[in-house]
Structure 1
């Protein structure tokens, strides 16, 4: 009886595989490398430049605070032997104050820049998604996979160039 059940299950699996194979063969599949498209887009480089320009003054202020901390620390190490105790305390207080200011201004600025970068990145990824949809519709693709999701794909399945061309026309 067990043998008969095993044969029935094997027959069912085999017939399912035979029936499913032609359905898969009829699908048109494409592969797209979203990361490569993102990096090839001229807008991606512009994002970094525009964000740096937007936060230029704040970045310079935080950078100056960082330089101050480094300068005061190096001076304390270098000249500690010849400094009076009052001078050492004053310099240590300057270091502490500069570090506190750096922390208070640097961390929120970094978070703000990260948030803005993500917003701009998401806009570009939306354009890429729209372009993938356009290429899929024009080429009658049933499925387009991200290249990172596929272990192997024939080069003729790659539609990244078409998507890049399409996304450049959107702007």
Structure 2
């Protein structure tokens, strides 16, 4: 009997302690997608990346156009029975090599472009993270979740606009209204 009373008392103490710990949690949320889309530096970063890769992209496009012209010429010449098959085969091999080299250049370009975009995206997201952390600390939030993972939240728990202001963005509409 004594053991049952002790176990019950211990269970009640644990339940009371855990509910008090849960009551101490102060949780807010942000709409990370909205923050990223409205980040004040996002358009400038996109323009910077476009200009950084424009010359190389134009060069690859011109190279592709040149290869396509050579293919068209070869196909036209293949229709003429006066052309020697050995000469046509030689030109076809040259075009295949050009296409292979071009494809490798395109692959390298895409890898470098993706790498730079990820670097710049990480910088923007880091700014959002720092601003979110600072606001959460200032307002005493123990957790900040992304709005996509929140099923229900009390009014006043959305700190998206505060974070947007902290990163220097201008608010246009509330994130909840933007998703409706």
Deviations 1:13-40 (A, max 9, x none): 6653343123212321111122221111
SS at match of 1:42: coil
Alignment of 1:30-49 (within 5 A): 30-49=28-47
Greater share of residues in helix: 1
- State the partner residue of 2:126: 126
Check whether the contact 1:65–1:101 (CA below 8 A) recurs between aligned residues.
Answer: no
Alignment of 1:9-158 (within 5 A): 16-74=14-72, 76=74, 80-82=78-80, 84=83, 85-86=85-86, 88-148=88-148, 150-154=149-153, 156=155, 157-158=157-158
CA distance in structure 2 between the partners assigned to 1:75 and 1:15 by the alignment: 87
Deviations 1:82-133 (A, max 9, x none): 3632563354234213212312322222221122112111111111111101
Judged with a 3 Å threshold, the aligned counterparts in structure 2 of structure 1 residues 14 and 106 are, in CA distance, closer, same or farther, namely farther
Normalised to the residue count of structure 2, the TM-score between the two structures is 0.73
Structure 1's unaligned 5+ residue stretches are none
Higher mean alpha-carbon deviation, 124-133 vs 79-88, is at 79-88
Check whether the contact 1:31–1:153 (CA below 8 A) recurs between aligned residues.
Answer: no
SS at match of 2:125: helix
Check whether the contact 2:70–2:95 (CA below 8 A) recurs between aligned residues.
Answer: yes
Structure 2's unaligned 5+ residue stretches are 170-180
Report the aligned-residue RMSD: 2.9
How many residues in Structure 1 have an aligned counterpart in Structure 2?
A: 162
- The alpha-carbon deviation at position 50 of structure 1 amounts to 0.8
- The alpha-carbon deviation at position 142 of structure 1 amounts to 1.6
Higher mean alpha-carbon deviation, 10-19 vs 40-49, is at 10-19
Task: Please list every run of at least 4 consecutive aligned residues from structure 1 whose deviation after the TM superposition is greater than 6 angstroms.
Answer: none
SS at match of 1:30: strand
